[in-house]
Amino acid sequence: MAPIRPISAPRIVLYHQTTHNPDGSHISILPLLTQPGIALTHLIVAAIHINEDPNAITLNDHHPSDPRYTTLWAETRIAQASGIQVLGMLGGAAKGSYCRLDKDEATFEAYYVPVRDLIRQRGLQGLDLDVEEDFSLGGMVRLIDRLRLDFGAEFLITLAPVAAALLDVRHNMSGFDYEALEVMRGKEIAWYNAQFYNGWGNAGNPFMYELMVARGWPPEKVVVGLLTTGENGNGFVPWELMGPNLGLLRRQFERFGGVMGWEYFNSSPGGRDRPWEWAQRMTETLRAGEGKGTEHRPSGVANALKGDDEDDDATPAAPLPAPFVYQTDGEDA
């Protein structure tokens, strides 16, 4: 597993679920490394599902070892070598993963071990727990404790509640109380990717985030979750509103937790042809002066991205996603 380098808030986090075009061609994340003005901090590969057969774990619709993911895993290694921390996401809108982990010890063990093994095999630096089904508080505590035991103090454990759940337990998709979890295991949780969309929050003004901080949530632990485009759900906030609001939160809270985007492949304003532009705008707003291209990355990484010809000083353009009709490999977050 790649070592964790400390990253200060505000974070810039992107989910990467749609990894392929409908024709089967791979959607590359390398432009997030090669395009200028990008200081992405975390990439979350989604979505890992636990199925009825404990050994039939899937990344969206295929086993994580399926050849279709060979390029994905190679690119995540390059991203890690470039300083981006790579996590996996467990769960999401497709239900079943967490109910299978919420049973007796023997059943928990049978379903947990394949997830543990996947994390080890792919060198993931953390796990994002997106619980959109009933899951007990005790079950979440057990899962967090086991992840910490197996992967140590540096392993990132994040959660992805709907934003409203951080203010009112009744407005919640997870079944347990996030405030109670923070009291019990907050020291083990790196941050919360709070979903400010699909009717659970509004990222167009600072009001809801301010309420969270007033309620006692540390600002460095609350990341504002956004739709990267109106194609990915309800509640997309145009940049004309979102940009100024994020800038305001950045100035208002010295330890502002940052922003996450669902999801990469069709992010605005560049869309499917130039999805990295979302990360460029977020870098400009939240981490001004930190954006970089291959010339600022470790030499081995830059050479890997450029190819084997050491005499060629020009960095070739990274492969771009081809235009296509929106389609995900699995369920939406």
Tens-place pLDDT, residues 87-103: 999 999 889 999 999 99
Q: What is the pLDDT of residue 310?
A: 39
Q: What is the pLDDT of residue 327?
A: 40
Domains and CATH numbers, the chain: 11-306 (3.20.20.80)
Instruction: Identify any residues that bridge with 59 across adjacent strands, giving them in sequence order.
Output: 48, 62
Confidence of residue 149 (pLDDT cuts 50, 70, 90): very high
Confidence of residue 325 (pLDDT cuts 50, 70, 90): very low
Q: Is 83 left (phi over 0), alpha (psi -120 to 50) or beta?
A: left
Confidence of residue 224 (pLDDT cuts 50, 70, 90): very high
Confidence of residue 152 (pLDDT cuts 50, 70, 90): very high
Q: What is the pLDDT of residue 233?
A: 94
Q: How far apart are CA 118 and CA 126, in angstroms?
A: 11
Q: What is the pLDDT of residue 7?
A: 76
Chain center to CA of 173? 18
Q: Is pLDDT of 301 > 70?
A: no
Q: Among 77, 1, 43, 4, which residue's Cα sits nearest to residue 301?
A: 77
Mean pLDDT of 167-185: 96
Helices (H), the chain: 31-34, 70-81, 97-101, 105-122, 137-151, 178-185, 207-215, 239-252, 277-286, 299-306
Mean pLDDT of the chain: 89
Q: Give residue-wise pLDDT tens across range 103-139.
A: 999 999 999 999 999 999 999 999 999 999 999 999 9
| Cβ contacts of 8 within 8 Å, gap of 6 or more | none
Q: What is the pLDDT of residue 5?
A: 63
Q: How far apart are CA 10 and CA 222, in angstroms?
A: 10
Confidence of residue 331 (pLDDT cuts 50, 70, 90): very low
Q: What is the pLDDT of residue 290?
A: 82
Q: Give residue-wise pLDDT tens across range 228-286.
A: 999 999 999 999 999 999 999 999 999 999 999 999 999 999 999 999 999 999 999 99
